[in-house]
A = this chain, B = another copy of it.
Amino acid sequence: MIALEDIEAARRVIAGRLHRTPVVGSTYLGGLVGATLVFKLEMFQKTGSFKPRGVLNNMHHLTPEERERGVISLSAGNHAQALAYAASASGITSTIVMPASAVQSKVDATKAYGGEVVLTDDDLMETMLSVQRERGLTLVHPFDHPMTIAGTGTLGLEVMEDVPDADVVVVGIGGGGLISGVAAAVKSKRPQAKVIGVEPEGAPGMTLSLQQGSPAHLDSLDTVADGLAAPFVGEHNLAHVQEYVDDVVLVTDDEIVSAMGLILERCKVVAEPAASSTLAALLSGKVRVAKGSTVVCVLSGGNIDAERLAALLPKR
């Protein structure tokens, strides 16, 4: 398990290389929830999501030989951009296996950050493993690695500094990388604070994993929240959720897009569906909070095409 000192070490690794993102309150949205509501604005992180926190810390622990050979991973979205960015910033070459169906803007962004993109119609994991073996590259896992978790924990430390009286911290769950680190940080700083995870109904990997007591694999994924659509939950991630997370709830796609629209209108920021799931959990009553309590929603990223945003936003 990741300890506070691992997270503090990660913080020294990323210091000066990533942004310390701000928090902002919303009186109006807080009124709807009956709480003091604060958003952690991680869409303003480099590459538009929290992902480089874990990636940079992970790569910091590579051996000189591993750095020399380069890194590889698989992703359709935020992890791809973060890996390309963090590798280039560290003087390491990166290869990212992406589905041929990936959004062109995300492929372009990954290349622009200096990553080599391998597009495939075949199984993503098998293609990645094949390229990895062939080129002798080191895998930087999107979420299931202790150093990735220590890196995402830095976001939790910032939350506890900026909102020291937080009673509840709400975080989205895909593979579980973000909530693992955030929960470890929050519980080490303020054990009485609750950490709640949110999954889309169409990608309930952590909910299933908690029920069966082992990391679940999902055969199908069906959610607008592409950032939470992980086909499996990590082993380290499940362990951290079991230890540190108080509850995991499910939200619908409609609840997610409705929350996304409200965040746009009220906070003037773009929270991608994965990020908006946190507010959705509160507004739908899936997460109930005590009247007057202080609640933090982690808005994990803002990477969404304008075209897709327009297509998703609720029509009234």
Contact = CB atoms under 8 A, between A and B. Distances in A.
B265 A305 contact: yes
A311 B24 CA distance: 28
Contacts of A48: 268
A43 B269 CA distance: 9
A129 B192 CA distance: 58
Total copies of the chain: 2
A143 interface: no
Contacts of A304: 265
Interface in A31-51: 43-44, 48
Interface string A296-308: 0000001011110
A309 B309 CA distance: 9
Contacts of A310: 309-313, 315
Contacts of A269: 268-270
Contacts of A24: 44
B268 A43 contact: yes
Contacts of A316: 307
B264 A309 contact: yes
A306 B268 contact: no
A314 interface: yes
Nearest to A305: B265
A269 to B, nearest CB: 6
A227 to B, nearest CB: 14
Secondary structure call for the A interface: helix
Interface string A264-299: 110011100000000000000000000000000000
A261 interface: yes
Contacts of A88: none
For A270, A306, A313, A315, the residue with the greatest tally of chain B CB atoms inside 10 Å of its CB is: A306
A130 interface: no
A302 B261 contact: no
Contacts of A309: 264, 309-310, 313
Contact of A261 (B44, B264, B306, B314): B306
Contacts of A312: 310
Contacts of A260: 306
B268 A44 contact: yes
A313 B302 contact: no
A265 B306 contact: yes
A105 interface: yes
A306 B105 contact: no
Contacts of A314: 306-307
A105 B265 contact: yes
Interface in A245-269: 260-262, 264-265, 268-269
A290 to B, nearest CB: 25
Given A43-B268, A261-B307, A262-B306, 4 more contacts: A48-B268, A268-B269, A309-B313, A310-B313
6 contacts: A48-B268, A261-B307, A264-B306, A307-B313, A307-B316, A310-B311
